[in-house]
A and B are shown apart, each in its own frame.
Chain A
Amino acid sequence: MTMQLKSLPHPDGLIIRVDERRLDAAIATAFKDRIRGMIATGGIQIILDLGGVDFMDSSGLGAIIAIYKAMPSGKKLTLTGMTPNVERVFRLTRMDKVLPIQEWAETPASSNKRAAE
């Protein structure tokens, strides 16, 4: 099964667009491995765009937390584009308070500003 991940260039790094509709136990481990590989070869600022995901379970959440924990030092990962079902899992587990999440309206430039403060 090929995973629907799209890699888009970004001035400071990489935007990874997840076009898998379900981030669940069936793909969580493969997803984690693929994203880690893309992060290793991407730039400093990585944006993980979950806009294409309309269902995520705790396996998907666990994969994203594992990706964060394995971030190479000096690189920054931000989540964006959460749909309501994905947002619910982050909110119920309080992970929205701990992980860097960016609203759609914010641009990559504003997160650079935050990083410079």
Chain B
Amino acid sequence: MFHRIFRANPATVRAVLHFLRERFDGCAESEVISKVELALAEVLNNICEHGIRHEAERLQGQPHIPLIHLCVARHVGGIACAVTDDGRPLPPSCLEAHGLPTISAPADALDAILLLPEGGFGWFLIQELTASLSYFREGRRNFLGFIVPVAEPPRQPVASNEG
């Protein structure tokens, strides 16, 4: 079990994830812990990047850096994570099924690399890595919960024929 309260900025996110890894080392396969770390990194980075809101004029319109509460617990079936923050509301579209950002050229096109997206992978990764992703907004806080299963979830058949 792990609980931390911290301001949303990339340096504190880094420190918290480092501590998380130390705390959970040995609790599950290192691959599972790595998936938790990656999913949380994406969630927390999003709060750092998009969660900042501006206070009312009477409060001098100061930017409000979200305060994050993170709770992670090992359960039988997986590692459960709860993230709450008092930043801007999460847009509902983030939780809709996410595909990969469009790759607009066939991979063998000479200039395919020039057309690659540089972002938009975050929610795709979160959805790939987690199960039971849920969200609600209460008062001024976002609540996001998910599980990273300990056993591999059954894989969807993949259309590609690579070995």
Question: B57 near A: Cβ within 8 Å?
Answer: no
Question: B95 near A: Cβ within 8 Å?
Answer: no
Interface string of A3-35 (1 = CB under 8 A from B): 000000000000000000010111000000000
The one of A25, A66, A84, A89 in contact with B118, judged by C-beta atoms closer than 8 angstroms, is A66
Across chains A and B, the number of contacting residue pairs, with CB separation under 8 Å, is 75
Which residues of chain A are within 8 angstroms of B118 by Cβ–Cβ distance? 62, 65-66, 69
Q: Chain B's interface: helix, strand, loop or mixed, by majority?
A: helix
Interface string of B8-41 (1 = CB under 8 A from A): 0011011001000000000000010011011001
Interface residues of B (CB under 8 A from A): 10-11, 13-14, 17, 31, 34-35, 37-38, 41-42, 45, 48-49, 100, 103, 107, 112-114, 116-119, 121-122, 124-125, 128-129
Interface residues of A (CB under 8 A from B): 22, 24-26, 55, 57-59, 61-62, 65-66, 68-69, 71, 84-85, 88-89, 92-95, 97-99
